[in-house]
Structures are given as structure tokens and as C-alpha cells.
């Protein structure tokens, strides 16, 4: 797998879990990284791990569930660099476990604000710059969750992520800005729980594949991180 020297990546929700694995994995590929957390102190460990790889690292903070939080993130990004070449929309939340009939509308809206609407806001802000430079890689995190109605807001939001990514890819066709969606697998993270199938580290190297695509490579596709376990 090739290097990403002189590129900048923003990884939302990278203070821990899957996002941390991706951010550090990118840094090991010599990509400069912008780490994100809800609070700046949450980003320190990931930032230290990335800095140890000898790349430039910045940290931004903001709650993706609010407009003010998204604006704070974008201000931090603008202060760190005038380019974002790779965008991992990784941050997501789940609803509380309860009967699908008992999930209130405000809980649906809260999940969609973070899992979908914030993703769209970051793409709207950062993709125009990618188009101007003729290079971009957008990777939207999805899920393979099925038949779990108690988590319907989460699963439906991820289905919307898939469709949005395909529409985004259609809009970007021929620009060398590629938009794909990534299923990391069921991982033993705070969200995935202790009974999940895989350790967080197994998201690599597969999670990096859509960031390392050749110019004008596939777009609008699903990549499953666990399919690339044997990739060097």
C-alpha cells in the first residue's frame, strides 16, 4: 500500500475506537491528520500516536449534533490547513435500546443529526476545495447491522448514508473526487460492545483502501474492511 505524503485527512470521531485506528493508520502512511473529538482534551492520545509517525497533526473539537459544533470544527480545520484531501466521516451515535414503537421522534432526530446531517455539512464545506484541486477521497462509515428494530434510528441513518454516498459519487463523476462508504465490521468498541466479532485493530488495513484508490478509481462503492485482513 502506497504512502499519502503531503495529503491532509480529517477523521471525525477519532478520539477513540475506529476513528483512532483510522487516524493512526493514515499517519503511518505519512498522511497529515486532523483529529476530532467532542472536546479537545479527548483528542490528545490519538494526536500523540499520530505525531509519533512523524507527520503533522492538528486537533479540532465540536459536537456534530449541533450547528455550533460543526462550525467550530470547520474553523479549526481552516486554522490547521488550507486543504483537506481525505475526509473520513466516522463519528456516529446509537439510540438507546428499546422497542421500535417506543423510540421518540427526538431520539430519531438526534441520531440523524450526527450520523447523516453532520456528514452532509462536512462534505458541503470541504468537497468544493477538493474539486478545485482535482483530488479528493470521501469515506463515509456505514454499518452491516440487520434485523435489529430496537436500533432502527441507527440502522436507518446508516442506510441513508449509503444512498447519500451513491448520490454524491454520481455528482462527482469524472472529477477524481471519489466518494465511497465503508463497513468496518462489528467491532469491540464502546458502541459495538464486548460481544462483537472483531477487535478494533482489525479495521486496518481495510479501512485505508478507499483512501488509497488510484486517480479516477471506483466511486459510490461499498468497501468492507474485514475483507482486506490479508492485505499488506
Active site residues: 154
The C-alpha cell that represents 12 in the structure block = 471525525
Sort strands 8-11 and 86-89 into parallel, antiparallel or unpaired.
parallel
Q: Please tell me the distance from the alpha carbon of residue 61 to that of residue 43, in angstroms, as a whole number.
A: 8
Q: Where do runs of H (alpha helix) occur along 105-151? A: 105-112, 118-133
Cβ neighbours around 232 below 10 Å, total: 5
Q: Please tell me the distance from the alpha carbon of residue 177 to that of residue 4, in angstroms, as a whole number.
A: 15
Helix-strand-coil split of the chain, %, nearest 5: 45, 15, 40
Q: Please tell me the distance from the alpha carbon of residue 223 to that of residue 27, in angstroms, as a whole number.
A: 21
**Do the beta carbons of residue 11 and residue 36 sit within 8 Å?**
yes
Query: 40-67 burial, b for 16+ CB within 10 Å, e for fewer?
Result: bebbeebbebbeebebebbbbbbbbbee
Residue with cell 481525505: 86
Order of strands, edge to edge, in the sheet holding 222-224? 57-61, 32-37, 8-11, 86-89, 136-141, 177-183, 222-224
Amino acid at each position: 500500500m502506497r504512502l499519502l505524503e503531503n495529503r491532509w485527512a480529517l477523521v471525525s470521531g477519532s478520539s477513540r475506537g475506529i476513528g483512532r485506528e483510522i487516524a493512526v493508520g493514515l499517519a503511518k502512511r505519512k498522511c497529515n491528520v486532523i483529529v476530532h473529538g467532542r472536546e479537545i482534551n479527548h483528542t490528545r492520545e490519538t494526536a500523540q500516536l499520530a505525531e509519533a509517525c512523524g507527520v503533522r497533526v492538528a486537533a479540532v473539537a465540536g459536537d456534530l449534533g449541533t450547528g455550533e459544533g460543526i462550525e467550530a470544527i470547520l474553523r479549526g480545520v481552516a486554522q490547521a490547513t488550507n486543504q483537506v484531501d481525505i475526509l473520513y466521516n466516522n463519528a456516529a451515535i446509537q439510540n438507546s435500546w428499546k422497542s421500535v414503537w417506543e423510540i421518540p421522534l427526538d431520539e430519531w432526530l438526534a441520531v440523524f443529526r450526527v450520523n447523516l446531517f453532520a456528514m452532509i455539512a462536512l462534505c458541503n464545506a470541504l468537497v468544493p476545495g477538493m474539486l478545485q484541486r482535482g483530488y479528493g477521497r470521501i469515506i463515509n462509515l456505514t454499518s452491516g447491522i440487520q434485523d435489529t428494530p430496537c436500533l432502527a434510528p441507527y440502522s436507518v441513518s446508516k442506510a441513508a448514508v449509503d444512498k447519500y454516498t451513491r448520490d454524491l459519487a454520481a455528482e462527482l463523476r469524472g472529477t477524481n473526487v471519489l466518494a465511497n462508504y465503508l463497513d468496518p465490521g462489528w467491532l469491540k468498541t464502546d458502541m459495538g460492545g464486548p460481544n462483537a466479532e472483531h477487535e478494533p485493530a482489525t479495521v486496518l488495513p481495510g479501512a485505508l483502501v478507499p483512501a488509497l484508490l488510484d486517480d479516477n478509481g471506483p466511486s459510490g462503492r461499498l468497501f468492507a474492511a474485514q475483507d482486506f485482513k490479508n492485505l499488506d
